[in-house]
Structure formats: structure tokens, C-alpha cells
Amino acid sequence: MIDQSALFFRIDLGNIILRNRVVMAPLTRSRAGKHDVPGPLNAEYYAQRASAGLIISEATNITQQGKGYAFTPGIYTQAQVYGWHSVTQAVHAAGGRIFCQLWHVGRISHPTLQPDGGLPVAPSAVKPIGQAYTESGFAPLVTPRALETSEIPGLIADYVHAAESAKAAGFDGVEVHAANGYLLEQFMRRKTNLRTDNYGGSIENRARLTLEVTRAVAQVWGGDQVGIRLSPVSPANDMEGAADDAQALYEHVANGIDHLKLGYMHIIEGATQGPRDNIAFDYAALKAKFRGLYMANNGYDLQLAVTALASGRADLIAFGRAFITNPDLVERLRSGSPLAPSIDTSLWYGGGAHGYTDYPTTIATAA
């Protein structure tokens, strides 16, 4: 039997204490209420999983322009702030900690989800392959419009407003979503960034917006209460997984956020929800560029998590889909109880309590 104790040691994340190294990864569930406001059902869902050392909220839209999936929550209106406040109160009452993941999807959207039916925005007008999840069902993605250079300051201001709103909602910190083929990663990758201004071309230019956004958010919260999510070789949302400059690009980003003294760097190792070894990448070199906590994600089970912690390769381990059907995942890992499988994927997105808050714990199962 493996010694899994390291997974349950407390750890300091800036000025807050995490009671274990298990992190609930952000999981889009598309169950926000009218006007993308979280409600009591969302509060119950997160409180059920508050035994995690840290919860990272589902990806949360910083503006309507940043929205790419139906029924996903926002953090830019007063009603949304009130809704999220009920969630953070419930998590804190259960002894948990929760960060808000700040999200702009960029080109992975559809006019029916955009203000006044406009085109989604992106660094360049490059059409993605795939479908958008709209309120009427799935629809083909469209060719986005390229952001004007003059729009960039307003975009950064949207992130600042969302960060301020997350603070008002009672979150313990925020995570900048710069992964999985969404807007900030679209700026970083050459496939989706064909710009010739200060935000395109060189690695320094393509990483500029991600670092500017993160710096602005850190000024709201303080760096140690901010994390960033990156996916260096993931092909998610029609990105190139095998970019020849990926190592240099992401080491540049890691070095840049290290200067901001961020609390953690959240890395999707390999292909999102896919193989961890799809493309060779030196994650240890990435970690060496950053003095904050390294959060590892993608396909981790108990054995892999314990090995990563024991070797010093990671400080925190993010578990995603396992938290859907195992609200008491921490206790199951601690006791060695079997995990309930995530078998009915039709319940992942949209709907109500069924497949969301009605999964039993080990105590309920035994009873």
C-alpha cells in the first residue's frame, strides 16, 4: 500500500492555509440561472466538495463578450456577484477555500451568445473547427473578428473589473484562465495569432497580453492570491499541439509570472482530457522558472499524485472529472475507498440537481 500522507499535508498559498494538496479543478457544468447568475443549487454543489484543499470555480465569464457556452456563470454584474457570494459563503461554512477562474473564450463562441448578436473576438480572424454550445443546442463555430489594438486596454479593464467583482463576492483569490485554446492562449499561439502589432509575431509579443492581464489582476488581489492556468501542448479547441516554440514560449510566460510573485501556476500536462504524453515537454524546466506553487493537472490518480508530490515535481494536484461523481473525493482518496466512475456524460452539462448534487458519499453508500 502506498504512503499517500503527503497528499493530505497542509500547505500555505500566500496568506491562506490549504488543509490538503487536493484541488478541485474548474469544471464547466452549465447550470447557472437566469442572466448567468449562480443560485442555491450551485452553492450546494460546491459546498459538497469543500473538503478539497482548494476549489477552483468553473470557468466564469468576465463579460458577455467572453461567453462561449450556454448557461455558464458570469462575474461582471451585481446580480452575479450576489449569486457567487452565496456560493462562497456555503464553501467557507463547510471549511473550504475557493478561487474564481476568470474566463474569456475568444473565438470559441457564437453570435447568439454575444452582445447584440455580434461576432466573437480573437487575436486574428482565424475560424476554429468545432461547435459552440448555445441555448438552442450545438452550432458551428464562426469566423471571429480580430480585436483592434485600441480595444486591448478595455479588455484588460474587463479582467480587472471581474477580479474586483470576485473579491466583492467573497472568493479567496482568482485564477487567470490562459489555457485550452481560449482568448489568452489564442494570443500566445502562432496558429491563432497572425497579428503584426505589439501583440503578435515574437514570443514576447504573443505572451504580452497574458502577462498584462495577469499583472493587472495581481494588482487587485496581490500576487499570492492569484494563479494562472496554462496548457503548453494541448490541442484543445483547435489549437496546434506541437508548436516548435512551445518550450520557449511557456518558459517565457513562467518567468514573467514569477516576477509577479503569483501564488501558483496550474499546468495541464499533455492533451486536455487526453494523453499526458501526447507531445514531449519539459515541465520540470517550466517549474524551475517559477518560485510559486506548481499545480499539476490531467489524468492524475492517487498513485501518480503521491509520486509527483514525493518527488517534488508538484506541490498541488488538481482532480477534475473525479469530483463530479465523488463529492467526497478527498475522503475516498484518504481511506482508499473506490471511486464512483464518471459514466453518464450526458449529465455533465446543463440540467438540474440530477447528475450534479445527487451523487452519494461513501458514508451514504455504506448506509
Region of 30 please: left (phi>0), alpha (psi -120 to 50) or beta: left
Using DSSP bridges, classify how beta strands 316-319 and 22-24 pair: parallel, antiparallel or unpaired.
Answer: parallel
Contact predicate 73/38, CB 8 Å: yes
Residue 222, classed as helix, strand or coil, is coil
- In whole angstroms, give the CA distance from residue 135 to residue 34: 12
Contact predicate 34/77, CB 8 Å: no
Contact predicate 63/104, CB 8 Å: yes
User: 182, 199, 283, 356: which one is catalytic?
Assistant: 182
Cβ-based neighbours of 229, under 8 Å, separated by 6 or more: 26, 101, 175, 176, 177, 178, 179, 180, 266, 267, 268
Residue 207 one-letter amino acid: A
Catalytic site includes residue 199 = no
CA distances (Å), 277 to each of 230, 274, 299, in order? 16, 9, 11
CA distances (Å), 180 to each of 15, 62, 161, 312, in order? 29, 17, 23, 26
Question: Which residues belong to the active site?
Answer: 182
